């Protein structure tokens, strides 16, 4: 390995998913000389495996009461929409919006039970009943006897979000390599035989499961086993659908988003309880479970020629008592560095707020370090979506 070069900066962000890239853009906007380090590809891991949903928390209120998670996340769709219109803290006008809303699909009996709650003042701005004639195409069948509600939660093409954020920072602010922390104010970055010492006033880990490299006890994992259903051809596509299929429990049985692969085939990307409960299943078993659920929920659709695959997500969060889902982003100081988890993709802006507040409280002001760069250092590429990877389809 060659002798390490040296560079000083205000902050180093380790991990190039949505949390890290959003934070980098905010730090640069505020005048900090911040750098981001990514070991693999930008968005690899959780970000490009997400469904792109900007949750408003309605799915957390299916028990008929407002949870802490509902209150924490309820403002996020509007905050993101301000950015999408160019009026927010970051400019996301270049982002592709896949859908302006999602649908909540319930049985008639469950819809009756929840209709009064959904009409309450706390939720009426987020959810509205949909008339039969306005149902999404996937539900335009007399056999469907449930109820449909419109959720004001956009679904975004996440690679375009990363691209829009990266366009707001200098290209040389993003570096590829493996980060080591010999001491809290130094990051040793390695890429092949090259090495670079980054001397910094603050290190923020936003590496998802990679945060465990600092302190495994600070993190918990709630993995998912997602299912992908691919249209048999471009000429015979599945209908577009962005929605939650709700059963008798307080979580959606299925959460479905629609995406198009490079060959133009429409794909349903399916999460919800199916993905949570299927972690222990092998892919053929999980696919069988998905086929059963889809046949039950959409018996009027022809599933015989649809191809299926699965993928796993190592969903990492800040540790909670009893392993419960956090309501908010988690920011912890461990071993002289910050460990950060957004909890949900939609909460990345809130996590950036927390980091900015921490920097102010720590009296780490921007502009104390002269901007410098390593122009020829390798830059990470954007990762692929799971449906563009080498999955086993059947």
Among 67, 123, 128, 143, residue whose Cα is nearest residue 296: 143
Q: Is the pTM of this model over 0.85?
A: yes
Q: Is 62 or 67 the better-scoring residue by pLDDT? A: 62
Domain boundaries, the chain: 5-47+160-220+318-388, 101-154+224-313
pLDDT attached to residue 374: 82
Domain at 101-154+224-313: CATH code:
3.30.9
Q: What is the pLDDT of residues 177-214, one digit of tens each?
A: 999 999 999 999 999 999 999 999 999 999 999 999 99
Q: Is 160 or 75 the better-scoring residue by pLDDT? A: 160
pLDDT attached to residue 120: 47
pLDDT attached to residue 368: 72
What percentage of residues in the chain have a pLDDT greater than 90? Answer: 82
Highest mean pLDDT, choosing among 118-122, 246-250, 266-270: 266-270
Over residues 26-52, the mean pLDDT reads: 97
What percentage of residues in the chain have a pLDDT greater than 70? Answer: 90
Residue 330: how many other CB atoms lie within 10 Å: 22
pLDDT attached to residue 122: 44
In sequence order, the 6+-apart residues with CB closer than 8 A to the CB of 185 are: 199, 200, 201, 203, 336
> Which DSSP string do the residues of 126-174 spell out, in sequence order?
TEEE--GGG--GGG-STT--SEEEEE---EE-HHHHHHHHHTTS-GGGE
Please say if the pLDDT value at position 53 is more than 60.
yes
Q: What is the pLDDT of residues 342-369, one digit of tens each?
A: 999 999 999 999 999 999 999 999 987 7
Please say if the pLDDT value at position 394 is more than 90.
yes
Q: What is the pLDDT of residues 88-125, one digit of tens each?
A: 999 999 999 999 999 999 876 555 456 545 544 445 55
Q: pLDDT averaged over the chain?
A: 92
Q: Which of 112-116, 271-275, 300-304, 389-393 has the lowest average pLDDT?
A: 112-116
Q: Burial code of 283-302, b = ≥16 C-beta within 10 A, e = fewer?
A: beebbebbeebbeebbeeee
Q: What architecture is domain 5-47+160-220+318-388? A: 3-Layer(bba) Sandwich (3.50)
């Amino acid at each position: 390995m060659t002798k390490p070069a040296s560079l000083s900066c205000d902050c180093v962000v380790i991990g190039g998913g949505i949390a890290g890239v959003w934070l980098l853009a905010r730090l640069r906007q505020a005048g900090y000389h911040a750098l981001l380090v990514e070991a693999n590809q930008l968005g690899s891991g959780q970000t490009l495996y997400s469904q792109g949903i900007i949750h408003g928390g309605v799915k957390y209120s299916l028990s008929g009461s407002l949870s802490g998670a509902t209150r924490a996340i309820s403002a996020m769709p509007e905050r993101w929409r301000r950015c999408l219109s160019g009026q927010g803290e970051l400019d996301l006008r270049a982002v592709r919006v896949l859908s302006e809303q999602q649908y909540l699909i319930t049985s008639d009996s469950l819809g009756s039970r929840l209709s009064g709650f959904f009409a309450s003042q706390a939720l009426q701005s987020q959810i509205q009943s949909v008339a039969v004639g306005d149902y999404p195409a996937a539900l335009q069948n007399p056999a469907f006897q449930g109820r449909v509600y419109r959720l004001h939660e956009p679904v975004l093409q996440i690679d375009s979000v990363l691209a829009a954020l990266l366009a707001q920072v200098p290209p040389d602010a993003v570096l590829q390599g493996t980060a080591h922390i010999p001491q809290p104010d130094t990051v040793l970055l390695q890429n092949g035989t090259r090495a670079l010492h980054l001397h910094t006033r603050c290190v923020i880990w936003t590496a998802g499961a990679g945060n465990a490299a600092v302190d495994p006890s600070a993190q918990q994992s709630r993995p998912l086993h997602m299912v992908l259903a691919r249209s048999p051809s471009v000429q015979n596509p599945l209908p577009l659908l962005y929605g939650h299929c709700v059963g008798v429990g307080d979580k959606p049985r299925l959460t479905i988003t629609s995406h198009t692969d490079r060959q133009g085939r429409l794909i349903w990307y399916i999460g919800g309880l199916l993905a949570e409960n299927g972690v222990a299943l092998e892919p053929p078993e999980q696919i069988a479970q998905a086929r059963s659920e889809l046949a039950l929920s959409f018996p009027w659709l022809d599933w015989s020629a649809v191809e299926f695959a699965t993928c796993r997500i190592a969903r990492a969060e800040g540790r909670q008592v009893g392993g419960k889902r956090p309501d908010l982003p988690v920011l912890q100081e461990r071993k002289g560095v910050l460990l950060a988890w957004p909890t949900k993709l939609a909460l990345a802006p809130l996590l950036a707020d927390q980091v900015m507040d921490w920097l102010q409280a720590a009296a780490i002001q921007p502009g104390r370090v002269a901007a410098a760069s390593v122009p020829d250092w390798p830059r990470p590429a954007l990762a692929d979506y799971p449906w563009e990877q080498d999955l086993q389809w059947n």
